[in-house]
Structure 1
Amino acid sequence: MNKPGQQVIGRLRQMILSGELASGQRLAEIPTSEQLGVSRTPVRIAFRTLEQEGLLTKLSGRGYIVRQVTQLEISGSIEVRGVLEGLAARQAAENTLTTEQTEELIALLKQGDALFENGNIDEHDLTQYHDINQRFHQIIIEASQNPAIAEALSRNEHLPFASVNALAFDRNNLKQEYRRFNFAHMQHHAVFDAISKGQGSRAEAIMREHANATLGYAKVFSQMEESGEKMQVINTKNSPTNLTQ
């Protein structure tokens, strides 16, 4: 899929996740494309993709409606993904990576390093990270040599935010998103290290935790940022300059 298409999907996911697009709200191609400033084609593709992910329901006439998605539904589907991908990582470690798999994983890690080295990201970078992330996970699943894992993941992907491709990001808070996705990338380094050393249990534990990184930690980093802002206000109030006023 082209980059504008990925960006539209990511923005609509985030709007649903944040509640900006409320449960039961009707969506149509033309007003949505006008709101996002894009053509109707990427919006049409996004609607179909989000329907497959369980976030939208197609109406009998034209358009879609936003499904009601509970936090319990989201956390449950992510937990299942973590278990499946954790198993894949453990079996990949037990099987030993091929030379080709090792080289490609290292190349993907280097691409991610370059993406985050400047200390900030933009929407284009997040689209690139999507591709890196997708391929990284795919290689580990292939390295497990267990077709049942891929089959089970395929079924689970129809649940909200369960797919590794279902990245949502807040384009209005890129500082927070940098922290979140850079942390997820560091977990890629850790799981590769465990797999390459044949440490199956460690690889499984990291991969299970990693399932929460790109979605579940959004609130964590948001709370950290809010706490930091509050501390900054307190420190400013107690600064020598203010104490003399």
Structure 2
Amino acid sequence: MAVRKTSAGEFMASDVRNRLRSMILGAELKPAQRLVEDDLCERLGVGRTPVREALLLLQGEGFLSRERGWVVETVDRSQVRAIFESRAAIEAATARLAARHAEASELDSLATLVEAMEPGETLTRSELNSLNTQFHKTIIAASKNMFLAQFHERTLFHYWMLRVPILFSEAEVRETNLQHRRILAALVGRDEEEAERAARHHVEATMAIVEPAIEL
């Protein structure tokens, strides 16, 4: 059976796609923003072909649409429940797999992140969000499943595009970290069923706070 070789052009298009995806997830490129190929070429320092290929890939992944040019997708807030349901399913699945596959170094990193999130009153919301994102990304990586990781990125995109204007109370922040500790304990104990339950409960608890605050 012949093995298909990957060209340098394909590698470049994949790199451009990853860079653009990070810019979208990081809100550097905002919902409904129009993208001009020439501007992107100059900004990224690459030619038009990899940019065009990357844009097509991102369109297929749901990050972009074409409306007389390229546009960063927007998210309908009425879909908030569907977004959280998707996150719950994916994070539950990855937590189960992480309980099976997580390496000692990954468990150590998760324990460090949980401790770092504990003094909630001394952290800015930006710092807390960053630590929380690292915690969940570490679990995704520990699942050792690249396809679930890709699905998680899609739900993460939709979640952040909601631009939810909510400040969690100190009590809610502490409760959230207790949920993190429950997930971590299940991972350390290699308890796949408990890891799945704890991860699902964590997302559903967040949904219970966020959903009522969004005007549908």
TM class, shorter-chain normalised? 0.5 to 0.7
Aligned-residue offset at 1:110: 1.0
Q: 1:76, 1:103 → 2: CA distance?
A: 33
Aligned-residue offset at 1:187: 0.7
Count of residue pairs brought into register by the alignment: 159
**Residue 76 (structure 2) pairs with residue 69 (structure 1):** yes
TM, length-normalised to structure 1: 0.54
CA 1:141 to 1:86, structure 2 compared with 1: closer, same or farther past 3 Å? same
TM, length-normalised to structure 2: 0.60
Q: 1:68, 1:135 → 2: CA distance?
A: 24
Alignment of 1:69-108 (within 5 A): 69-71=76-78, 73-95=79-101, 97-108=102-113
Which segments of 5 or more consecutive residues in structure 2 lack a partner in the other structure? 1-25, 34-61
Q: 2:127, 2:170 → 1: CA distance?
A: 13
Aligned-residue offset at 1:186: 1.2
> Any conservation in 2 of the 1:93–1:194 contact (CA below 8 Å)?
yes
Give the structure 2 partner of residue 187 of structure 1. Answer: 179
The AA in structure 2 aligned to 1:103 is: D
Aligned-residue offset at 1:103: 1.5
> Any conservation in 1 of the 2:90–2:148 contact (CA below 8 Å)?
yes
CA 1:109 to 1:78, structure 2 compared with 1: closer, same or farther past 3 Å? same
Q: 1:149, 1:47 → 2: CA distance?
A: 25
CA 1:126 to 1:50, structure 2 compared with 1: closer, same or farther past 3 Å? farther
SS in 1 for 2:190: coil
Percent pairwise identity: 21
Give the structure 1 partner of residue 208 of structure 2. Answer: 216
Give the structure 2 partner of residue 197 of structure 1. Answer: 189
Aligned-residue offset at 1:99: 2.0
SS in 2 for 1:48: coil
> Any conservation in 2 of the 1:168–1:215 contact (CA below 8 Å)?
no
Report the RMSD for the aligned CA atoms in angstroms.
3.5
The AA in structure 2 aligned to 1:195 is: L
Give the structure 1 partner of residue 130 of structure 2. Answer: 131
Query: Which one of the candidate residues 193, 202, 206 is aligned to 2:198?
Result: 206
The AA in structure 2 aligned to 1:128 is: E
Give the structure 2 partner of residue 17 of structure 1. Answer: none
Aligned-residue offset at 1:183: 1.7
> Any conservation in 2 of the 1:89–1:195 contact (CA below 8 Å)?
yes
Q: 1:219, 1:69 → 2: CA distance?
A: 13
User: Once superposed, which parts of structure 1, at least 4 consecutive aligned residues long, lie more than 6 Å away?
Assistant: 57-61
> Any conservation in 2 of the 1:180–1:214 contact (CA below 8 Å)?
no
